[in-house]
Structure 1
Amino acid sequence: MPADDDHKVVCHLDRLLDERGMTLAALAETIGVTAVNLSVLKNQRARAVRFSTLTALCDALGCQPGDLFTVAR
């Protein structure tokens, strides 16, 4: 099994926030998670995402999971 650091999943939270004119702090408050936890996700340091958090992110940003994450080739 590959090491955890070898994943190729890329988070596009920064782009989505920019496109929507939203701050990380505002998104955190909207979905009920800490800005620190969202920052970990945004800066590619997250090791996992709960489905409930993913659902809340997609609802708040008006996007699909595939808009938020891609797999680098």
Structure 2
Amino acid sequence: MRGLCYKGRMIEVRLKQYLEAHGRTRYWLAKESGIDYSTLARIERAEHTNRIELRVLDAICRALKCQPGDLLVWVDDAKTESKRTRKGK
């Protein structure tokens, strides 16, 4: 699972799933939102980032006509820890 971590808590980024479910591409989103394609790619893969600027999240949500909760999902620490424990066996 990929996502943003803060103090051991995980926020899963579901941008890719949202785009696929709504027949949109990252290229389309870059054009509509004005956010650089590479920035969207990093957010989608949750790589090299521990935050998403509010102006970026706002631009994405406006372009997709969605709420932040449609793209970001809080994952319970217990579930994250449980998956880590199973993988370690």
Partner of 1:62: 65
RCO comparison, higher one (Cα < 8 Å, 6+): 1
TM-score with structure 1 setting the length: 0.83
CA contact (8 A) 2:15 2:44 kept: yes
Alpha-carbon RMSD across the aligned residues, in angstroms, is: 1.9
Question: How many percent identity over aligned positions?
Answer: 27
Alpha-carbon separation, structure 1, partners of 2:39 and 2:8? 21
Of 30, 33, 41, which residue of structure 1 is paired with 2:32? 30
**How many pairs were matched up?**
71
Rg bigger for which structure?
Answer: 2
Gaps of 5+ in 2: 77-89
Alpha-carbon separation, structure 2, partners of 1:71 and 1:24? 23
Shift of 1:23: 0.7
TM-score with structure 2 setting the length: 0.70
Distance 1:44 1:6, change over 3 A: farther
Pairing 1:50–2:61 present:
no
Q: Which runs of 4+ in 1 moved over 3 A?
A: 3-7
SS across alignment from 2:73: strand
SS across alignment from 1:47: coil
Alpha-carbon separation, structure 2, partners of 1:6 and 1:52? 25
Shift of 1:7: 4.4
Gaps of 5+ in 1: none
